[in-house]
Structure 1
Amino acid sequence: MSAISSVSVIQPQVVAKLAANEPAVSVTAATTVSSASTSDTVTLGENTRVPDAQTYTVRGLIANPDVLPAWEYTQQDKVSLNMTGNFASSGAASRFQGLGASLLAQLAETNKNISQSVIRSSTGKALEPAELAAAQAKLHSNAADNSISLTLKTASGKTVQLTLTSSDNGLAVQAQVSGGELTADEQAALGKMSDGFQSAIDGLTAKPPQLKLDALTKFDSNVFSSVDLNTRIQLDDKSIQTLELHADADGRSMRMSGASGDLDVSVDLKNSAIIGDANQQEKALKGYVSQIEAARKRGDGDAQLLSMFQDAFTTLHSDYPGTRAATTPQTVSSIELTQTDHGLLTGLGDFSASVTEKGKEGNPARPGELDSFAYKLSQSTQSKGRDQLNRSIVQDQQSSLVASYHKPLPGANKLDLSTDPASQNYLYYQINDQASSKTSIGYEKGALINASVAQTASQTTRISRYVMGHLESDTTTPLKSSKNQNFLHVLQQAIQQDKDAQLGRGTSRLKDTLANIQDKVLLQPDPEKLNG
């Protein structure tokens, strides 16, 4: 077997030639590397043979020991050694274990493009050159069973793209830089993201999946302008789980779809002036996470799906780029927001968020009775007036919950519905909730003339009780409440006290007043608590 002496940027025809010369190379291979911006060749090392760890083919047949997995290129490096250890395993979690981190770290260290794949024949016979080339091309494409793609755009205009793909009989990686060679600072920043990238992979391939995306949304904005993560994972039941994450200076978004349901969270950061300081953000996030948990309990939502929704909501709202310091003035359309303005707002960027479970027929005897859960949250902020002395701000918060589910009758052990009338003893819940909060702030000739919060909340609960398949009762309980709070007078007093304190007369209570108001600004979806 002859060693490959040198290669340049990987091309399909090169793959075919290598396949013809090396139909089944050893498993301790490594990636070919090439300059991200030139076509200079790189000398490769010698082949090292290690016995193949695979004994059986995926079809359960004893594999031909002379037919070893076919590698795209041969040379020892960290990525290929990582692939060697992972390839004997099955499942996305084990196949991608440590591979994202090693791929990103090697690119950051060498500043060279990377491409590697390893393919095992499913027939026990060596693949023909054309078959191998086709299999390699397919494995490097989106047609693979499992794929993970990370795209980073630098502030200088370059694009870094990393992909990991896996199928039953193959594992592949690529790392490419376009638009020029990475600078030392860009390499260093890239290297720092390796563990975060791997953490995201480990979470998405875990059982059950988890969202660990913090490091990807906290990228160095001085070096990178945007981050995109796209994944497609085939789960054990052959269902497909997909995720799309985008983050840049203007906003963040995440969409996830799987067998249990869909998540969609989007945060708008273009209006950065409305973002509060870290303490205000933390308080608002805790309030919203509590609301999500309350909605899960009321609508009998899937605990795992709602946990991921909470994680997504928290992650996308955490560590805003250029978070406002408590003393830093911010502007909207050249209008500076005051301490009073910020005290009447949530402190979070505008957003829309939704989680929807995949509806299913929960009762074979009554197909129309679905088990379902759909929950939405949103915030939008509008400002008017280009004059600092004459202006207004309106911030709207909205939430809705629509759910239905089956529960056993009180005292019953469990629910086991079937077409047998004897099993038809249950309660069927139908939930429909709505809530809104509107904060209005207005100034005229520099004086505060409006500082109010108007909130409404409604809940409708319908419970149908069935015994032996017969409807015994059907009750609907509506609850509705509203509250209008005017903070103008108390704020005018606090603002005047603050002015006097600055002149050495008395003590300012403005900060404490605003903190008390801030607790009352957040959306309150429970009618009973709204006026409590």
Structure 2
Amino acid sequence: MSDTLADTYSRRGQLPGQDIVRAWESDSQDTLSRAINTNFNSPSTANRFNGLGASLVEQFAKNGAGISQSVLYASADRADSAGEIKTDQTLLHSKADNLVSLSIKTASGKTVTFSLSSQKDGLGVQANVEGGALSADELKAVGQLGSAFQAAVDGLTAVPPKLDLGNLTQFDSKVLASVDLNTTLKTLNGPDLKLAFHADSQSRTTRMSSLSGELNLSVDLKNASILGNAQQQAKALKSYLAQFDRAQERGSAKAELMTQFKDAFSALNSNYPQGASLPEALTRNPTDQGLLTGLADFKASIKQAVDSSNPMRPSEVDSFAYDVSQKTRVGGKSALDRSVIQDQQSSLSASFHKGLKGGKAPELSGDPNSQNYLYIQVEDKASSSANIGYKDGLLTNASVSQTASQNTHTQQYVMGKLVDETNVPKEAAVQRDYLVLLEYAAKESKKSKDALEESTLKDALPNMQASVLLQNDPSALVR
């Protein structure tokens, strides 16, 4: 290279000041900065965020001071320009391709927000506080959520993504008022993965959208009087998760999306806040507990992204939409005169293609030779309603009504021609009255607790609890 060219270009063939360098926001050499430096070498978001969430929370919890650190690839000239590089750093923290933020509000009204940001040319973290310095107790409570934050980040950046949110609900509600997790993650193909999670002493919500579909779940914790004991809640949760599996199989839903739905449902319906007071209208006696699920009221839905997989019949879409809910109404002014109605419901609407022998979906194309398949549409509904009533302290109503219906419409195509079409409906309804059983239980319990335990009621009461749980299979109702 001539002297003139050497003066004009660097060894990399670039103009002076255009060499790419790593520009750091802070010259700190702490543990967090070293982790950022190591992780920046990885192209994957999962590896870049590895350990950063926990490390960020841990460092903040030591003294409550704000934190802002980042590293960017920039030209030497831009790195030396304080104004320009500051603009890039601000954009990285707020507009990066991949953003995860954890916002924690204390009971005293302060808010601390932790954020992780990553894009091709940058990686950053921040911890900001609003409303004043945190107390020692608040710092301790915030610090205890570091591992939960990291677990959530690790799950969301995994392939396929997982919803590991359960530990974010485990915080001291006397010190912390709420926890919010918000995420935007860029994907290689299709829309970004977006998640919004919220938890406080009154409610919990999770919303997620991705290439696979959408999830929307909410739990109402205000009516703490309907909550059962840990054993009852575990039984109800297990029953619901089994129903979700059956819905997935019946509607041929994508396993990845249903797993995320189940994980979110489990997280929101576990570790309920403790110490809630009971209204006078409802007590936790065996009757009230036995005819309720033990879970908090909720709404949950899953909707798979619609796919038109048959070019010869675009209207034959592959779809899956399922929603499920529980709503409880408590009436009356006292324990002597009260009523409780708990309604559960679910609905499934799905359509999908299968091979003629019931195997996996065929590879459909414009070639008639590929058009050998079954196109199946299902429409299911289920409900369960428990009714409890007291008048002047006496039990007057204790019943459960349940319904379930399934409709299966199947079209069979051979060489692109419809050769068979069937429609199979199933439905069932049952009503169970437990008034006599519970009156007898009340009499036995008055004699002694031992008498109740030794009687046949020991098995009858758990069976009654099981009969309350929603059942989406008509054949199971008539057994």
- Aligned residue pairs, count: 466
8 Å contact from structure 1 (residues 267, 350) kept in 2: yes
Give how far 1:129 is off: 4.0
Q: Secondary structure at the match of 1:332?
A: coil
Conserved 8 A contact 1:491-1:510: no
Q: Tell me, yes or no, if structure 1 residue 391 matches structure 2 residue 338.
A: yes
Cα 1:504–1:103 change in 2 (3 A) is closer
Q: 1:510 to 1:168 in 2, by over 3 A?
A: same
1:294 and 1:412 map into 2 onto residues whose CA distance is 17
Select 1:302's aligned residue among 222, 229, 254.
Answer: 254
CA distance in 1, matches of 2:465, 2:283: 20
What residue in structure 2 maps to residue 243 of structure 1? 195
Query: Do residues 349 (structure 1) and 301 (structure 2) align?
Result: no
Question: For 2:239, what is the secondary structure of its paired residue?
Answer: helix
RMSD, aligned CA:
2.3
Partner of 1:418 in structure 2?
Answer: 365
Whether 1:132 aligns to 2:79 is: no
Q: CA contact under 8 A between 1:335 and 1:386: conserved in structure 2?
A: no
- Distance in 1 (CA, whole Å) between partners of 2:114 and 2:267 is 23
Equivalences for residues 149-228 of structure 1 within 5 A: 149-228=101-180
2:366 alignment partner, SS class: coil
Aligned: 1:118 with 2:71:
yes
Q: Distance in 2 between matches of 1:215 and 1:354?
A: 22
Q: CA deviation at 1:178?
A: 1.9
- Superposed, 1:45-444 pairs within 5 Å as 67-121=20-74, 126-127=78-79, 128-141=81-94, 143-237=95-189, 239-322=191-274, 331-332=278-279, 334-410=281-357, 415-444=362-391
Which letter maps to 1:434? K
Instruction: Flag the 1:341–1:335 CA change in 2: closer, same or farther, 3 A.
Output: closer
Q: What one-letter code is carried by the residue in structure 2 that aligns with 1:350?
A: D
**Aligned equivalents of 1:214, 1:504: Cα separation in 2:** 40
Deviation of 1:497 after TM superposition, in Å, equals 1.6
Judge conservation of contact 1:491–1:513 (CA < 8 Å) in 2.
no
Matched residue type, 1:316:
L
Judged with a 3 Å threshold, the aligned counterparts in structure 2 of structure 1 residues 236 and 502 are, in CA distance, closer, same or farther, namely closer
1:486 to 416, 433, 446: 433
CA distance 1:463–1:505, change in 2 (3 Å): closer
Q: 1:236 to 1:488 in 2, by over 3 A?
A: same
Q: CA contact under 8 A between 1:139 and 1:171: conserved in structure 2?
A: yes
Residues 280 and 335, structure 2, Cα contact 8 Å, conserved in 1: no
Tell me the distance in 2 between the aligned counterparts of 1:168 and 1:413.
Answer: 38
CA deviations over 1:104-144 (Å, ceiling 9, x no partner): 000001321101121112x6864544432221121121x21
Structure 2 match to 1:22 = none
Conserved? CA contact 1:148–1:230, under 8 Å: yes
Identity %: 48
- Distance in 1, Cα, partners of 2:266 & 2:359: 38
AA paired with 2:86? A
Q: CA deviation at 1:389?
A: 1.4
Of the three residues 433, 450, 468, the one matched with 2:397 is 450
Normalized per residue, which structure has more helix?
A: 2
**What is the identity, as a one-letter code, of the residue corresponding to 1:116?**
Q
Q: Distance in 1 between matches of 2:191 and 2:448?
A: 64
TM-score (normalised: structure 1): 0.84
Determine the C-alpha separation between the residues in 2 that align with 1:233 and 1:157.
30
Equivalent position SS for 1:378: strand
One-letter identity of the residue aligned with 1:253: T
Paired with 1:426 and 1:263, the residues of 2 have a C-alpha distance of 30
User: Alignment partner of 2:21: what SS?
Assistant: coil
Q: 1:413 to 1:317 in 2, by over 3 A?
A: closer
Report the AA paired with residue 132 of structure 1. Answer: I
C-alpha distance in 1 between matches for 2:452 and 2:119: 74
Letter in 1 for 2:54: A
